[in-house]
Amino acid sequence: MPQRPRNSGAHVPRKRFGQHFLTDPAVIDGIVRAIAPRPGDAMVEIGPGLAALTQPLVERLGRLAVIELDRDLAARLRAHPQLQVVEADVLQVDFRALAQAAGQPLRVVGNLPYNISTPILFHLLGQVDAVRDQHFMLQKEVIDRMVAEPATSDYGRLSVMLQWRYAMEDVLFVPPEAFDPPPRVDSAVVRMVPHAQPAVVDSTRLSQLVQAAFSQRRKLLRHALGPWLEAQGFTGSFDLQRRAEEVPVAEYVALAQAL
């Protein structure tokens, strides 16, 4: 398993890119097992860094596309004959085009930078039709919010928007000491599989509705969502004598459809 170089040419992690390099072989093995790559899978890795996860993946796949913003790391990765290197900001990457070029839906993996993990999740949500599954290492508290059940403190906008479109599970806990440098938070790996037949709804409308509902999450919905629904001209019935966190995903989706 490749380790981080310790000579004068070693890559210095860059704070602005949120770089924390995975170095624990047991954790790397656990992640690869969870992903279960197969030869011929069209896989894209976001932020491969020093290739700790990249190498065992490409050994099983034969070929792997990687998205890397750091110019120095991208140059190193290009030396690997089995990698297709996309040097770009992941938030600008067209995953549909990558899937079209591959001729099949993508399996997307990565140790996501904590400072932009939520924008990346929403960027992929907008192109979910191009995705077969996703396995991401994220801050543990972000994954807790993603998979949260209604009527819990972690349940919020992220829970609703992602659960509408994906079946998700927390598959692996990752402690700070598995990284160099160690982050100040616990991490975990989440599996995200798009629902085969999701409820058909305008995603922008659903997002606006959920944002309005959770804008004052400690108050009853009649204070925040009520005025918003009125402004939309909604004349149907919806129980506003609840807090936002008490409403299941299916009810938010049904309300967005009714609008």
Closest by Cα among 173, 101, 160, 110 to 130: 101
111 is in an annotated binding site: yes
Determine the Cα–Cα distance for residues 218 and 117; give it in Å rounded to an integer.
25
User: Residue 191: which H helix or E strand, with range?
Assistant: strand 187-194
41 is in an annotated binding site: no
Strand partners, 45: 66, 109
- Token match 């932020």: residue? 47
Sign of CA dihedral 103, 108, 109, 113: positive
User: Alpha carbon of 185 to those of 97, 158, 178, 242, 253: distances in Å?
Assistant: 35, 19, 11, 33, 33
Question: Is 177 annotated as belonging to a binding site?
Answer: no
Q: Is 68 annotated as a binding residue?
A: yes
**Rounded Cα gap, residues 171 and 136, in angstroms:** 10
Q: Cα–Cα distance between 179 and 21 in angstroms, integer? A: 5
Burial degree of 106 (CB within 10 A; 0-12, 13-18, 19+) = buried
Residues placed in the known binding site: 20, 22, 47, 68, 89, 111
Residue ranges for the known binding site for S-adenosyl-L-methionine are 20, 22, 47, 68, 89, 111
